[in-house]
A and B are shown apart, each in its own frame.
Chain A
Amino acid sequence: DGGITQSPKYLFRKEGQNVTLSCEQNLNHDAMYWYRQDPGQGLRLIYYSQIVNDFQKGDIAEGYSVSREKKESFPLTVTSAQKNPTAFYLCASSAGVRSSPLHFGNGTRLTVT
């Protein structure tokens, strides 16, 4: 059953701690994306990667870091430098060609107190 797996579904951290969100896909997609969604709002792009070992900043990359060592995996680290880390984080992948849709995981809800 192909898809995108984000884990965990809920994550709680204390302020000042770094936390890494997992995203794995078995769709053989080249491109992967991380979005942040705040309540009642749309999706904002954090980082994206079109190929292994390469990634680009999105609109709100500050306080976040990513790696793309394997095609299937695109973990996101929320660092202590991110001022408002509590949000719903969505990972997505696409075939990478221009006219291909993104396929999303079911998200990780991060709460930092």
Chain B
Amino acid sequence: GESVGLHLPTLSVQEGDNSIINCAYSNSASDYFIWYKQESGKGPQFIIDIRSNMDKRQGQRVTVLLNKTVKHLSLQIAATQPGDSAVYFCAEKDNDMRFGAGTRLTVKP
């Protein structure tokens, strides 16, 4: 079956640096994508979403980029803070929602 996956399982950045988390998806019919943040022992928290008719969307300190040609999604976090340390998941939504394995982001002070 088709799946959503991530390029890197872990990412370590210095506080204040920018972070980029990547995601590859394989279902070319997917038209809605979401990034979630999950802290230990909690449920995933919505960060930002993007529809397939867009290639970039910005939020507060976060930007999602969508490249449909290569089926690639990325999350950029500006001025990464210790509170950003968590596992980040990309997901694609059809009638249900499929998640990748996640990337653990660690922010070093």
Could you tell me which A residues sit within 8 Å of B by CB distance? 4, 6, 33, 35, 41-45, 48, 50, 56, 58-59, 90, 92, 94, 98-99, 101-107, 109
Contacts and interface: CB of A to CB of B under 8 A. Distances in A.
B7 to A, nearest CB: 14
20 contacts: A6-B43, A41-B101, A41-B102, A42-B100, A48-B96, A56-B95, A59-B1, A90-B43, A90-B44, A92-B43, A94-B97, A98-B93, A99-B31, A99-B32, A99-B49, A99-B51, A101-B93, A103-B46, A106-B41, A106-B43
A4 B44 CA distance: 12
A50 B93 CA distance: 13
B31 A106 contact: no
A45 B44 contact: no
B75 interface: no
Secondary structure class of chain A's binding surface, majority of residues = strand
Interface size range of chain B in the complex: 20 to 34
Nearest to A44: B99
Interface string B23-59: 0000000011010100001111110010100000000
Contact of A102 (B42, B95, B97, B101): B97
A35 B96 CA distance: 11
B100 to A, nearest CB: 6
Given A45-B97, A48-B96, A50-B95, A101 B49 contact: yes
B53 to A, nearest CB: 10
Given A33-B97, A94-B97, A98-B94, 20 more contacts: A41-B101, A42-B102, A43-B44, A45-B96, A48-B96, A50-B95, A58-B96, A59-B1, A92-B97, A98-B93, A99-B49, A101-B46, A101-B93, A103-B46, A104-B45, A105-B43, A106-B42, A107-B41, A107-B42, A109-B41
